[in-house]
Amino acid sequence: MKLTLRVWRQRDAAAPGAMSTYDVDGISADMSFLEMLDTLNEALILRGEDPVAFDHDCREGICGACSLVINGDAHGPERTTTCQLHMRSFRDGDTIDIEPWRAAAFPVVKDLVVDRSAFDRVIQSGGYISAPTGSAPEAHATPVPKADADSAFEHAECIGCGACVAACPNGSAMLFTSAKINHLNVLPQGSPERETRVLDMVAQMDAEGFGGCTLTGECATACPKGIPLPSITAMNREWLRARRKVKG
């Protein structure tokens, strides 16, 4: 396949960015999207040009590092991570636009690489259960209903890639934050910190400069792990409940 790529190039956080056009040839349909970019980069290096910087690591859809907006879609046309997208989703002769996640809370580091440390700070503000090593009771001391365990797991599947923020027209991080809150708040182990967790995490999320939620649903559509939109509703419920309890 022969493709035309229009790629966002930006030297560093302070520099202005722009789209640059590259032609790539000899692309196999079996290549992953990132392998296609590898091919471009190999050619750029040999031509003495700066290769395109992009985040990637496990290339099996679980680490959450890869983060490209492809033709306006976070992670591209399939509902998966960029690394699991293959070139057979495109046709010979296509022009493909590749951009970074765009959000004030995710400043560009270089080209397609952004800084997602805001997510880490949201977790640090309460996305954990305080259980110092050695203090744990026997694992079977507290049975957890299977439905709750399954629900916790489904929310815990979030890989922290940030596609939700990238896809949201408002750059909101509600889906990410709600995934962690729903994971922990549904478990009996998480209940002692239930109120402070949701209040602190939402406050931190706001402080990071993410946009507000207008329930467009774009986040859940883009999420490669299928975190559902009602997670946000459940977090709102938790937040209102916590406000009542803490104030009351």
Q: Looking at residues 78 to 137 of the shown chain, list those that interact with other proteins (rule: CB under 8 A).
A: 78, 80, 84, 86, 88, 97, 99, 102-105, 109-110, 113, 115-117, 119-120, 123-125, 127-137
Cα–Cα distance between 46 and 38 in angstroms, integer? Answer: 12
Cα–Cα distance between 19 and 21 in angstroms, integer? Answer: 7
Residues 172 to 201 in contact with other proteins, rule: CB under 8 A: 172, 183-184, 187, 189-190
Residues 30 to 49 in contact with other proteins, rule: CB under 8 A: 30-32, 34-35, 38-39, 42, 44-46, 48-49
Cα–Cα distance between 243 and 158 in angstroms, integer? Answer: 26
Nearer to other proteins among residue 93 and residue 232 (C-beta)? 232
How many C-beta atoms surround the C-beta of residue 154 within 10 A?
A: 18
Interaxial angle between packed helices 117-124 and 194-207, expressed in degrees from 0 to 180 and rounded to the nearest 10: 150
Site size toward other proteins, by CB under 8 A: 120
Window 50-79: contact mask with other proteins (x via CB under 8 A): xx-x-xxxxxxxxxxx---x-xxx----x-
Verify binding: residue 19, other proteins, rule CB under 8 A.
yes
Verify binding: residue 210, other proteins, rule CB under 8 A.
yes
Nearer to other proteins among residue 3 and residue 103 (C-beta)? 103
Q: What is the DSSP string of 94-143?
A: -EEEEE---BTTB-EEETTEE--HHHHHHHHTT-S----TT-PPPGGGS-
Taking the complex as a whole, the smallest distance from the CB of residue 167 to other proteins amounts, in Å, to: 9
